[in-house]
Every structure is written in C-alpha cells, then in structure tokens.
Amino acid sequence: MSSKPFPRVTRRRFLKQTGLTIAAAGGAPLISAPFVSSAWADTKTLSIVQWSHFVPAYDKWFDQFAKDWGEKNKIAVTIDHIPVANVAARAAAEASAGSGHDLFGWNGAGGAHLYRKFLVDVTKLVQSVEKKHGKATTIGRQIAYNQDDHTWSAFPDYYINFPVMYRKSLWDGIGVKPDSWDDIRVGGAKLKAKGNPVGISLGHSNDPENTWRGVLWSYGGHIQDESGKKVVLNSKETVEAVKFAAALYKEAMTTDVLSWNDASNNQYIDSGVSSLIINPISAYRTAQQLNKQVADDIFVLEAPKGPVRRLMAGAPEFYGIWKFSKNQDAAIAFLEYYSDHWVDAFKASTGYNMPIFANLVPKPMPILSDDPTSTPHDKLAVLQNSDQWSAAIGYPGPSWPATDEIYNNFIVSDMMAKAATGAMSPEDSVKWAHQQCEAVFNKWLHKA
C-alpha cells in the first residue's frame, strides 16, 4: 500500500481543531476467536501505519507476521512505516480528513487520550488480553486508559525505557559511575574536557520530552497533581531541575543538542565521541553492527537518581482503531492474535519493546537476562525491571488530553532549553512553561 497524501496538518494545527467531530461508529466489535469469522464476508483488507522502528529487524518480523496472519484469513494486510518524527502530524491529518489507515500505531507522541473521540473503544479487547496474559502494569494503564469512565481508547502495545547508556572505559578512567544526575554533571564536565561530552537532546522530538521529564520528576517537580486537575509546575523543585539542566548543558554537553532529533544521540555515542546518553538500547544495537569495540564498551544503568527519586519517562507505543475504519473487526482480531504471540515481538525487537501485560514475558526475560551478542552476556539484565523506574507522561496523575498536548507541544524541552541557552532565567522559564500548561489545561477542562 502506498502512503496516500493527506492535507498538511501539523500537531499544533490539529490541536486547535480538536473541536472537529467524527460520527461515532457503534461500539467496539465483540472479541471472538483470533482468526476471522467467515461471517465477516465484507472484510478483505486491513491497513496499518506505524513508525519505522529503530531496530530494523523488528519491522521485518512484524511485516511478515502481519501478512502471514492476513493470508490465513484471506485478508490483504498492508503496512506503511513512517519516520517517528512524522507520526503526530500523520495522525492529525488522518483524523482531520476522516480517512486513512484502519490501525494507527503511535510511538511517543501523545495520542490515545488526545484522539479519544476519534478512536474505537477497545476495552473488551484489553480485558480479554488481561485474562490471558495478566493485568496491564502501572505504566501500561497510564498509556491508554481513561480514568474518568474506566475505558481504553487504544491498545497498549509496549513502552520504551530510557536507561543510562555510557562508555564504561571513559567513566572508569575518571573514577565515576554515572548513577545519579549529579554524577553525570560532574563526571560529564571532566569527560567533555577530554573530548567526550554527554549528549542529551534539547530539540523538538520524543527523546528529550521523556528524558527531561525524568530530570523534572527526580527533583520532585511535576506538571500536574495526582488528580490531573491542577498544574503545579511552578515550584522550587522545578526551578532546581531547570537549574540543573542549564548546568548540565553548559558544563558537560555539546551545543549541537539544541537541534538534535531522536537519531542524533544514537549516532553520537555510536561514533565513539559521546561518553553518555539517555536512550533505549537501539543505540547499542546499532553500535554492535558498526563498531564492536565501541559496543563492548557501552554499558547500561537504570534511570539516574535525583535528589528526590529515581524515575524516567517511558515512551508509549499503542495502536488505535479509527472510528472511520471499515475494517474494525479485522483490526481487533489482529491485535488479539498479535498479543498471543507478543513474546516473539519482544525477541524480534532484541529486548527494545518492553511488555505491558504482567505475564507476557516471563522472568528472567529472554535476551535481556542472557544476550549471547553482548559482552558480558548479562549486560542488559538491569532493563528487565525498568517498569519500576519508568512512568508515563501524566505522572503522578493520569494521562489525559491535556498531558498529551503538552507533550506534543514540547513545553518541557523548551522550558529546559530556554534556561540552558540563557534566553530566560530558570525562574522565568518555569513561569513561562507553567502558563503554557495552564492554557492547555483550561482548554481541556472547559471542554470536559
């Protein structure tokens, strides 16, 4: 299936147009067997769009898996892969046009709650999967669960963790283990002087929106309270987090981070230049292919510890079924079949895709606990428990349309960047961000 052109709709334009309505198709189809019933005589196609995975082997596996399922059920399955940076705009375009793919795969970009009125309620599907594979974990529920009416707007596929990824020889050389944010700042400054800066993006993409939330939370700051009804960003804790970000940028990083995309930090550490990034293991997997010496020197740690806690945002991956889709039954049947084979998806991603449902991947996890391609083989074992130090973007409250929009508008990254570059003082950048968040909250609270 070739990608059909859509009107140019940006994240911001769509967010201004969220008053658009799409006639609600009936409730979600009932869950039946994982294969398509012969009664679905009109269902002959299923179109899927999702990001181009940073572990290319996963896309190859998924495409074949989906097409094999389609052949068994006499359904022509087509899959389009688009750059991760284009996901939010593509979703906005399809929703605005009321036309597009049957199954839309989001990565990172807020969407499950923001697009709620455009998506089929998949509560019955999630409940069916939970009965077979265990309850959705805390971060899984944050991804697509609607706390107000206890429904699911989308199917939570997996989350992507953001561990510390560092060059062990370089950090051993200065006698520092980058276990805390302060260790990263102090040690990073020493390594920058040696030509090996820290690399954390301050640009407009998914990675910084997750990483800088981790800094914010670790210092005790939050965008919203636990109820999700009040913005609490303007606090002394947030100011301290922003001061830290500015110091880290000035003392330990390269100025290039201001314009980085989600691939930039991967390339930076894989080149042998950077001493540390915060990133999923895709950067490590790429290094294994490009330079074994560098890859063997890359080690991982759990999220850095801050003054208050150790916590990092995890990027959400989920599938939504548009209400305008004419193949909703097929989409749901495919997702249920896919969930029954999810451990194969985990293996195909080489441990990148982290499970949402409690019993999908038993521990010790394959690959992460014992990876024959890694030296040592248990190098990635710390990632098995990443749900203990990962949270979705709404933390400590629920994820809802306002938190999705704040994520999509890069407010947290911009708050950090304004202070880091000296465009604003830390206090003023926090006040600016707080006002931006309040405007988003007021819009959505008013709609509610």
pLDDT tens profile 240-251: 999 999 999 999
pLDDT at 423 over 70: yes
Angstrom CA distances, 61 to 45, 46, 51, 341, stand at 20, 17, 14, 12
pLDDT the model gives residue 39:
46
DSSP string, 150-202: TEESSEEEEEE---EEEEHHHHHHTT----BHHHHHHHHHHHHHTT--EE---
CA dihedral 192, 197, 201, 207 (to 10 degrees): -140
Closest by alpha carbon to 171, among 270, 276, 249? Answer: 276
Q: How confident is the model at residue 31 (pLDDT cuts 50, 70, 90)?
A: very low
Q: Are strands 45-51 and 103-107 parallel, antiparallel or unpaired?
A: parallel
Q: Which CATH number fits domain 11-160+314-377: 3.40.190.10, 3.40.50.300, 3.20.20.210, 3.30.70.1150?
A: 3.40.190.10
By three-state DSSP, how is residue 313 classified? strand
pLDDT the model gives residue 111:
82
Q: Is 150 left (phi over 0), alpha (psi -120 to 50) or beta?
A: left
Tokens linked to 79 = 């899959």
Read off the amino acid at residue 64.
Q
Q: How confident is the model at residue 216 (pLDDT cuts 50, 70, 90)?
A: very high
Distance CA 399, CA 341 (A): 28
> For 47-57, what is the mean pLDDT?
96
By three-state DSSP, how is residue 26 classified? coil
CA-based Rg of the chain, rounded to a whole angstrom?
21
Q: What pTM does this model have?
A: 0.89
> For 386-402, what is the mean pLDDT?
94
Which helix (H) or strand (E) segment is 390 a member of?
strand 390-391
Distance CA 184, CA 16 (A): 39
Read off the amino acid at residue 15.
L
Which helix (H) or strand (E) segment is 65 a member of?
helix 56-72
Q: How confident is the model at residue 12 (pLDDT cuts 50, 70, 90)?
A: low
Query: What is the rounded average pLDDT for all residues in the chain?
Result: 91
Q: Which distant-in-sequence residues (6+ apart) come within 8 Å of 264 by Cβ? A: 199, 201, 203, 256, 257
Strand partners for 167: 298
pLDDT at 165 over 50: yes
Own/partner long-range contacts of 230-235 (Cβ < 8 Å, ≥24 apart)? 230/441, 231/434, 231/437, 231/438, 231/441, 233/430, 233/433, 233/434, 233/437, 234/430, 234/431, 234/434, 235/430
pLDDT at 28 over 60: no
pLDDT at 376 over 80: yes
Peptide bond into 163 cis (omega under 30): no
pLDDT at 2 over 90: no
Lookup result for tokens 């940073």: 54
Which helix (H) or strand (E) segment is 418 a member of?
helix 411-420
Tokens linked to 210 = 């997750």
Tokens linked to 139 = 């971060």
- Decide if 11-160+314-377 and 164-313+409-447 have a common fold: yes
Q: At what angle do helices 411-420 and 401-408 cross, to 10 degrees?
A: 40
pLDDT at 345 over 80: yes
What is the per-residue pLDDT across 291-328, written as a single tens digit (0 to 9) for each?
999 999 999 999 999 999 999 999 999 999 999 999 99
Distance CA 159, CA 354 (A): 5
> For 332-336, what is the mean pLDDT?
98
Strand partners for 368: none
Q: At what angle do helices 401-408 and 426-447 cross, to 10 degrees?
A: 140
> For 402-415, what is the mean pLDDT?
96
> For 72-92, what is the mean pLDDT?
95
Angstrom CA distances, 46 to 43, 110, 177, 248, stand at 8, 24, 49, 47
| Backbone CA torsion sign across 61, 386, 289, 276 | positive
pLDDT at 17 over 80: no
pLDDT the model gives residue 42:
57
Closest by alpha carbon to 215, among 310, 109, 107? Answer: 310
Lookup result for tokens 């999705």: 404
pLDDT the model gives residue 43:
57
pLDDT at 33 over 90: no
> For 182-199, what is the mean pLDDT?
98
Tokens linked to 445 = 């609270």
> For 357-379, what is the mean pLDDT?
96
pLDDT the model gives residue 9:
46
pLDDT the model gives residue 36:
46
Domain ranges in the chain?
A: 11-160+314-377, 164-313+409-447
Q: In what order do the strands lie in the sheet with 164-167?
A: 198-199, 276-278, 164-167, 298-301
Distance CA 417, CA 312 (A): 19
Tokens linked to 213 = 């939330």
> For 263-288, what is the mean pLDDT?
96
Tokens linked to 136 = 């959705």
The reply to whether CATH 3.40.190.10 applies to domain 164-313+409-447 is yes
Q: How confident is the model at residue 108 (pLDDT cuts 50, 70, 90)?
A: confident
